[in-house]
């Protein structure tokens, strides 16, 4: 058994981001992670830095999404300085494609609602018909009737981001332990005891960043964290020349 001040349970994108930020602030956390083949967001997402459509009927979330997207360049510059890795951030705007006039109208209405609910502070967007969309994105199939374009959107390489965060957090002083799946967390008067197969850790503070595992772990520290797994589909191809600027999720 060993003692630490701060433990982060989960070494995915969220846990590694928190660990990097803490380490840059002078707090060197211990990161307890699972196996290499555990499900991770970095292996199954588009790496989108997405603003358009976020925060319908929740203006605080819409503005938060916009503010977050705007600090990505600063964040990736700091991450590159600490890790030496370019995460491939591109924020040249992106499109949500519609396959029917009804779909295009529904998306336009949502975007206008967000603009109204944020008093015009949400990012500007353009509603493009098929011809206007083709002029910007040549080669689209015949089923695309139009699109919504927002200049605030972009993407990063999720796998590079994961690698950069792990490299940077450890260079800054975070301790990383893979194959350390936390099975139990026991609150004590001075902190917590975390136990797993072959290890025990006494930690004064704990951050739960274990994704779907948080639903199991949260009740152990008196919290409720109901989660629902929602899966999408990603088509993986051989490397090819970029054909589309960016797609909506």
Give me the domains of the chain, ranges plus CATH numbers.
Answer: 1-47+157-249 (3.50.50.60)
Please work out, in degrees rounded to the nearest 5, the angle formed at the alpha carbon of residue 19 by the alpha carbons of 17 and 21: 70
pTM: 0.88
On the 0-12 / 13-18 / 19+ scale of CB atoms within 10 A, 24 is middle
What pLDDT score was predicted for residue 139? Answer: 84
What pLDDT score was predicted for residue 38? Answer: 77
d(Cα 208, Cα 186) in Å, to the nearest integer? Answer: 13
Counting Cα atoms < 13 Å in the Cβ hemisphere of 164 gives 22
* Segments of the chain scoring below 70 in pLDDT: 1, 42-44, 232-249
What pLDDT score was predicted for residue 249? Answer: 42
- How many helices (H) does the chain have, and how many strands (E)? 6, 11
What pLDDT score was predicted for residue 23? Answer: 98
What pLDDT score was predicted for residue 244? Answer: 63
């Amino acid at each position: 058994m060993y003692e630490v001040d701060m433990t982060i349970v989960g070494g995915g994108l969220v846990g590694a981001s928190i660990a990097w930020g803490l380490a840059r602030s002078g707090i060197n956390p211990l990161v307890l992670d699972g196996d290499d083949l555990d499900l991770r967001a970095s292996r199954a997402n588009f790496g989108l830095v997405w603003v358009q459509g976020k925060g319908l009927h929740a203006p605080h979330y819409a503005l938060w999404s916009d503010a977050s997207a705007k600090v990505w360049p600063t964040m990736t510059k700091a991450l590159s300085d600490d890790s030496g890795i370019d995460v491939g951030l591109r924020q040249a705007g992106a499109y949500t494609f519609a396959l029917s006039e009804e779909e295009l109208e529904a998306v336009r209405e949502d975007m206008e609602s967000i603009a109204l609910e944020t008093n015009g502070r949400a990012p500007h967007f353009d509603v493009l018909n098929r011809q206007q969309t083709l002029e910007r994105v040549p080669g689209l199939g015949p089923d695309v009737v139009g699109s919504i374009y927002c200049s605030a959107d972009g993407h990063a390489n999720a796998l590079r981001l994961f690698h950069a965060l792990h490299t940077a957090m450890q260079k800054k002083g975070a301790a990383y332990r893979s194959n350390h799946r936390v099975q139990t967390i026991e609150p004590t008067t001075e902190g917590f005891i975390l136990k797993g197969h072959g290890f025990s850790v006494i930690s004064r503070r704990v951050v739960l960043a274990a994704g779907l595992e948080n639903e199991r772990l949260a009740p152990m520290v008196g919290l409720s964290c109901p989660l629902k797994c929602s899966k999408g589909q990603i088509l993986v191809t051989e490397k090819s020349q970029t054909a589309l600027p960016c797609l909506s999720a």
